[in-house]
């Protein structure tokens, strides 16, 4: 038997309103995603990597650029301003989770170069390179999520974090 109490009538009228609000939110997020992916992302980030031995500590620079859906990440690592090597990853922008400000990249290519005169790198950097190499060789595509923790356009910086990996990067906005 149908219940025609006032509570039930309100619930029936609320659904069209909720559906309309949901449609507007999806439209706004869709336009926001389109705008972000068209503009691209240009970040220049700095960080440090610490090994078990202080002589293994490195300074790092990461540049991240997207054009349309293509993404390029360049990691350069230094010891006392002397370049040791460079890692470049290429792929595509897969998705943007607006609620968490997280971009998902699908990385499908990578290359590693040692600087002239270098024949070895610290073990902790070697393990990062080996794990990335293994992922690309075995699955052909590696997922990489970039979460924007904080962004301040007026000050020209962003704080980001990659997953996998839990390093925090401070980046300049270009």
Q: How many CB atoms lie within 10 A of CB 142?
A: 19
pLDDT tens string 119-164? 777 676 677 777 777 877 888 888 888 899 998 888 988 899 888 8
**pLDDT value at residue 26:** 62
- 3-class SS at 16? helix
Tell me which residue of 92, 93, 98 sits closest to 27, measured CA to CA. Answer: 98
**pLDDT value at residue 32:** 46
Alpha-carbon 23 to chain mean position: 27
Whether the per-residue pLDDT at 30 is higher than 70: the answer is: no
CA distance 49 to 60: 7
CA triplet 147, 152, 157: central angle to 5 degrees?
Answer: 75
pLDDT tens string 32-80? 444 444 567 788 888 887 777 777 778 888 899 988 889 999 988 888 8
């Amino acid at each position: 038997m149908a219940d025609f109490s006032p509570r039930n009538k309100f619930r029936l009228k609320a659904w069209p309103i909720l559906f309309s609000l949901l449609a507007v939110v999806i439209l706004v997020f869709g336009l926001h995603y389109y705008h972000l992916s068209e503009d691209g992302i240009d970040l220049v980030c700095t960080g440090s990597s610490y090994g078990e031995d202080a002589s293994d500590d490195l300074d790092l620079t990461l540049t991240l650029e997207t054009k349309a859906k293509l993404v390029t990440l360049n990691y350069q690592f230094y010891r006392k301003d002397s370049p040791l090597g460079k890692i470049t990853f290429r792929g595509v922008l897969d998705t943007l989770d607006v609620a968490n400000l997280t971009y998902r990249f699908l990385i499908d290519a990578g290359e590693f170069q040692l600087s002239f005169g270098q024949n070895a790198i610290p073990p902790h950097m070697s393990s990062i390179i080996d794990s990335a190499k293994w992922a690309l060789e075995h699955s052909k595509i590696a997922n990489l999520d970039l979460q924007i923790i904080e962004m301040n356009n007026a000050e020209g910086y962003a704080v980001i974090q990659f997953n996998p990996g839990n390093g925090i990067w401070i980046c300049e906005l270009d």
